[in-house]
Structure 1
């Protein structure tokens, strides 16, 4: 199976866009990710898949806690900055929620303590025990087929 074809097929699944944040030794770290999902309602667990070579991989292992910032449609620049797509970084202001650094103006935030981790192929699936959630009435930032997208209501 061709790697490019596989990536194109997986990329055709539209997802929301998140930035994972954590703090290690008083330094805030962030990484854009769309491999995020809810795992369980009782107990409340989420999963995020992170490549073994990503810096965030070790940061989560070190901090043992992290936040999932679900981006709103007006946060394209934040997504691009934390995925390394911008030529020059702009200064990001973080606020604290449940003891973790989070982005302002997000659609939603989920804070977690590391529950477990599973090495699968070239990634690790980190399972987070949810410690807090918050949500705002905003539209999500979406990603599909290699492009950022916005939500549009369909006529019934």
Structure 2
């Protein structure tokens, strides 16, 4: 199997869309990610996967804390900004537990880096959730390389 076939197969799995954010040296950095999952209830742990060459790796290693912002169906533009698809747009972050969060995210998780592991061309970060906020709404989803909305 080649890389394209593998990527196509993985695109058949519908995911939510998140923005991972962290602050380093007074500057907030964010990246769009759909490689996110719950790991454990006790302790409360989640996992994110970050490409080994992504700038976010250096930031997470230095800051040792981050937020996961699960986007609503109305936040596709935010996803595109943090995926580098829309340039030169400033995003205002709020602060939650001293960490940057996106306003109106469906869920915001404030996390400490619990552990990290190299896995292929990515680094897996296990985050210990220290607090969270939840609002009502519908999630933004991603399937076969396209944004979608949940329809009830």
**TM above 0.5:** yes
Residue 14 of structure 2 corresponds to 14
State the Cα distance separating 1:41 from its structure 2 match: 0.2
What TM-score do you get using the length of structure 2 for normalisation? 0.98
Residue 129 of structure 1 pairs with residue 140 of structure 2: no
**Cα RMSD for the two superposed structures:** 0.6
Residue 144 of structure 1 corresponds to 143
Q: Deviations over 1:122-154 (max 9, x none)?
A: 10100001101111001100000000000012x
SS in 2 for 1:53: coil
Structure 1 residue ranges without an equivalent (≥5): none
Residue 116 of structure 1 pairs with residue 115 of structure 2: yes
Structure 2: distance between partners of 1:129 and 1:148: 28
State the Cα distance separating 1:2 from its structure 2 match: 1.1
Residue 42 of structure 1 corresponds to 42
SS in 1 for 2:48: strand
Structure 2: distance between partners of 1:135 and 1:42: 19
SS in 2 for 1:81: helix
State the Cα distance separating 1:89 from its structure 2 match: 2.4
Q: Displaced runs of 4+ in structure 1, greater than 4 A? A: none
Structure 2: distance between partners of 1:56 and 1:64: 11
SS in 1 for 2:80: helix
Structure 1: distance between partners of 2:18 and 2:88: 18
Residue 103 of structure 1 corresponds to 102
Structure 2: distance between partners of 1:43 and 1:131: 10
Structure 2: distance between partners of 1:11 and 1:57: 24
Aligned pair count reads 152
Structure 1: distance between partners of 2:21 and 2:33: 11
What TM-score do you get using the length of structure 1 for normalisation? 0.96
SS in 2 for 1:95: strand
SS in 2 for 1:131: strand
